[in-house]
A and B are shown apart, each in its own frame.
Chain A
Amino acid sequence: MSELLTKSRARNVFYGGSIFFVVVFVALTAQSHRHIVDKATAGMPLTEEVALGKHVWERHSCINCHTLHGEGAYFAPELGNVMTRWGAQDEPELAYEILDGWMQAQPSGIEGRRQMPHFEITEEEMRGLAEFLRWADQTDTQNWPPNDAG
């Protein structure tokens, strides 16, 4: 190896190869960007309500207990398909009512049960959050998760 692969050759392979893979990666992510906007998430419009819901989701750091499309913390249930689980994916009003009812009942205070905090959320924000979760649920995630349990 030492004759054929000198230090400067190894260095050139490293630089040249890295540039090649960066170019391929950038091209694929550009294509993926279009795929996400035009196809995977196009089933439901990205309204201001959905965007508001995303901000509510972020402001309360939901991701540090829950997963969303499998990413986040593993302390609380997956929420990428929660609206399907609740049978509310196609009914915005029902989605809002179940979500609101659930969140108003937290924390449960039951001994030995994981506790979800109580969040101060206005009705407008709660409706946004419900729409955001419906919007996330309609994303084409290549049929993940395997079942409604999330």
Chain B
Amino acid sequence: MKYQSQKVAYAYFLVAMGLFAIQVAGGLLAGWIYVSPNTLSELLPFNVIRMIHTNALIVWLLLGFFGAAYYLVPEESEREIFSVKLAYIQLAILVVGTLGAVGSYLVGIHGGREFLEQPLWVKFGILVAAVIFLVNVSLTFLAGRKTAITNILMMGLWLLCLLWVFAFINPDNLSLDKMYWWFVVHLWVEATWELVMAAILGFLMLKLTGVDREVIEKWLYIIVATALFSGILGTGHHFYWIGTPGYWQWVGSIFSTFEVVPFFAMMSFAFLMVWKGRKNHPNKAALLWSLGSSTVAFFGAGVWGFLHTLHGVNYYTHGTQITAAHGHLSFYGAYVALNLAMFSYAMPLLRGRAPYNQVLNMASFWLMTGGMAFMTFTLTFAGTIQTHMQRIVGDYYMDVQDQLGLFYLMRFGSGVAVVLGAVLFIYSMLVVRREVVKPGPVVKDAKLAGE
């Protein structure tokens, strides 16, 4: 850690990990209700639990992005953050807003647009926090050295904050409501968040592999170009069946097919940089999470996204468990794992220690990633059966769901693995003080045996 003000990232990461724990706990409970539907049905209905699960996810990912920005902007700009105090005020607003939202959900006060259920005062709180954030990082950015990493990061963060305005626009016309709702939801996760992801991944590659900055930055511009060129008109894959014109079936199918490209490019980029870099950075856990994130993002967002994005396929799979499978793996790979990569990289530096917890951390990676992969497979199988029985044969929804019990049971099991992995990750970040397995010696330019 070169600059004192980078320390604010520590507070952001702590809160983010707290919400991460709440998010996976909510997910596990929701998964259990699929298995045993009478659980808490009158005290805490499924819709409330799901709001907590999705909202906690979104907020902690954003807190992770904000924290990452506060960590890397000073280092890239080569100066302290404009105002540390503002950064803490921003965090306080977001914490109060989040607790307020969760509290209101529990007593039944919420909006009804999916993911944007926050009461109006919380939405305004988020807006104020976003403005404080933009002012704070922009002034830091403008005063210092400008790099491709911060250019792209700033562009992503500015655009995602601006798109938040659409959270306030809710027309009475349901189809218009849906169309503008996607301006937040799709243009966040399939456009602007990808810029943030690419910038953070680029920063991690720069630090972990030691590859020349020029090479990394050129890659970054190519990645984000493919992300926006495909992602903006790729919004069309949400405009097939909501009252929008028929031409979106072609626009959406063609452009969202290309949405695979930036994820493939990010995966290739990460592996290539590690190959070229040959730097023996001591933080192996951060490297594993970085490579893992780009790989799982390629499968979750890229492959599983393409699986049901063509309109001829989506006509049958739209709104089934196929969507749930894709949603879980893509969020995990692209944004959860990337945030955990950044935490793994930055936390030891923020706490002024050598990376000390790597074996447990890496075990948590495999536990969580294995769990998420298994969850994705079970939901994909469930979705395939659902698509056939409900959309082709025409059986009624609940009759079909009754046939899927085994898959939901297996999904719950994979959820247990994910929760254990998350707990292990947080434990390895915050509690463990020593490495549990002694690393072997590093031999420079080691020769293979018998060579």
Contact = CB atoms under 8 A, between A and B. Distances in A.
Interface stretch (B93-101, B233-241, B332-340, B439-447): B233-241
| Chain B interface SS verdict (over half) | helix
Contact of B45 (A29, A112, A115): A115
B34 interface: yes
B243 A75 contact: no
Nearest to A118: B42
Contact of A58 (B113, B251, B397): B113
Nearest to B51: A64
Nearest to B324: A74
Contacts of A32: 179, 239, 244-245, 248
A36 B318 contact: no
A82 B126 CA distance: 36
B245 A31 contact: yes
Interface in B27-44: 33-34, 36-38, 41-42
Given A18-B229, A25-B232, A71 B242 contact: yes
A117 B45 contact: yes
Which residue, of A54, A62, A74, A140, has the highest number of chain B Cβ atoms within 10 A? Answer: A74
B42 A117 contact: yes
Contacts, number: 208
A61 B37 CA distance: 18
Interface string B76-100: 0000000000000000000000000
B16 interface: no
Contact of B396 (A18, A22, A107, A149): A149
A53 to B, nearest CB: 10
A112 B320 CA distance: 21
A77 B251 CA distance: 29
Contacts of B396: 77, 149
Interface in A44-101: 46, 50-51, 54, 57-65, 67-78
Contact of A115 (B38, B221, B249): B38
Contact of A25 (B46, B111, B233): B233
B178 A69 contact: yes
Interface string A138-150: 0111101111111
Contacts of A5: 218, 222
Contact of B38 (A11, A14, A75, A111): A111
A63 to B, nearest CB: 5
Contacts of A54: 172, 174, 177
Contact of B114 (A33, A63, A144): A63
B405 to A, nearest CB: 9
Contacts of B139: none
A6 interface: yes
Given A107-B42, A139-B243, 8 more contacts: A17-B228, A21-B228, A35-B245, A59-B112, A61-B51, A63-B47, A77-B398, A145-B318
Interface of A: 2, 5-7, 10-11, 13-14, 17-18, 21-22, 24-25, 28-29, 31-33, 35-37, 40-41, 46, 50-51, 54, 57-65, 67-78, 107, 109, 111-115, 117, 132, 135-136, 139-142, 144-150
Pairs A-B, 4 closest by C-beta atoms? A58-B112, A70-B319, A64-B47, A144-B241
7 contacts: A5-B222, A11-B221, A14-B225, A25-B232, A36-B175, A107-B41, A149-B397
Interface of B: 33-34, 36-38, 41-42, 45-48, 50-51, 110-114, 117, 148, 151, 172-179, 214, 217-218, 221-222, 224-225, 228-229, 232-233, 235, 238-249, 251, 315-316, 318-321, 323-324, 390-392, 394-398, 401
